[in-house]
Amino acid sequence: MSAAVEELQPQPTIVPSAQPPGAEAAFVIPPVVKSRPQTLLAIPVGACIALAIHFFVPKKEVVPPTHYYPLVLSVMLGLGVLGAALYPFFPGLRKWMRQMCPILGIATVTVGIWELITSCLEWLPLPYFPGPEAVLGSLVSDRALIFDSTWHSLVLLISGYAVGVAVALVTGITIGWFPHARYWGMSLLKVVGPIPATAWIPLAMVVSPSALISAIGLIALAVWFPVTMLTASGISNTRASYLDVARTLGAGRAYLIFRVAIPGALPSIFIGLFMGLGTSFLTLVVAETVGVKSGLGWYVSWAQGWAEYGKVYGALVIMAAFFSTIMTVLFKVRDRVLVWQKGVIKW
């Protein structure tokens, strides 16, 4: 059973990217499992390089001195050293560091390079490309509004996603199970489904009583299509032998649908949920930019209107953290619901 138990250990799925700015870090090759001293020292070394750039390379950009950026780097350095010191004593920490150190180390260096080519060398034109210090400074100074925007985005996203998924599960199961529903539903789905939800914005604005409701509707529509499609295909691809077995065990239609077809379709349904989440992010940002006057999407375009690019990048960083956290939550839900798939397929 030990092999079975080991298989039940959660595997790393995606990396929650609560990283400092420097999205390039996402392209780093997955770290090698073996732990070497380089791995442990990646974060401290990275932080030292970035600090050296910050303090010793003369700057051309005039930034109001905030000290947030060197402070963050110093904290990274301190935590990196602390982690390396505690490394031998905590197996959990060991596993996490093996996974994360190279990525975080490279990310820190990338931020340093960013400062080098923006604030120090001014290779990129201002005000479009501020350095990390300016971005961090505007994040801190505008934190109340950014927090508020994030909250509004979260509420809008969850409402739209929930409505979309609820409707999609009903339509998907109906289309997947009943041949008549399949005939009519699939035709509709094939024609209407591929239209991007954002293309409905003009109509949504006319039809709905408020911008918020139209945004919820658009996000729901964006989620509805992939979830319906994959639910229907999952249901209609239920293995016939499972249905046969269930029938000979005395199953009625309700059992066949809810206890055979739906559990069997769940892997497919989750693919739909992930795709739907992606499209819902897109629709959320567009809807906030165009109609709803709140949320991170609105914040970005508002900051851009004032040419405050520090705020734009700050909001993008928050957005990245926000969206990937939600993605991680969905992965966790999937890991729980589809625990029976562990060892059957590679996630």
Q: Which is nearer to another protein, 18 or 245 (CB)?
A: 245
Shortest CB 268 distance to another protein, Å: 13
Scanning the structure block, which residue is given the tokens 């709140």? 294
C-alpha to C-alpha distances, 276 to 14, 56, 69, 198, 284, nearest whole angstrom? 17, 47, 36, 14, 12
3-class secondary structure, 342 = strand
- In Å, what is the CA distance from 261 to each residue of 153, 175, 232, 253, 339? 35, 12, 10, 10, 17
Least distance CB 244 / another protein (angstroms): 5
Residue 37: CB minimum distance to another protein, A: 39
Q: How far is the CB of 238 from another protein (least distance, A)?
A: 11
CA separation for the pair 274, 324 (Å, rounded): 12
User: What is the secondary structure of 220-281 as a DSSP string?
Assistant: HHHHHHHHHHHHHHHHHT--HHHHHHHHHTT--HHHIIIIIIHHHHHHHHHHHHHHHHHHHH
4/206 with CB nearer another protein:
4
- C-alpha span between 326 and 162 (Å, rounded): 13
Report the nearest approach of another protein to the CB of residue 109 (Å): 43
Closer of 34 and 253 to another protein (Cβ): 253
Judged by beta carbon, residue 68 or residue 242, the one nearer another protein is: 242
Binding region for another protein (CB under 8 A): 4, 239, 241-242, 244-252, 255, 259-260, 263-264, 266, 339-344
Would you say 191 or 254 has its CB closer to another protein? 254
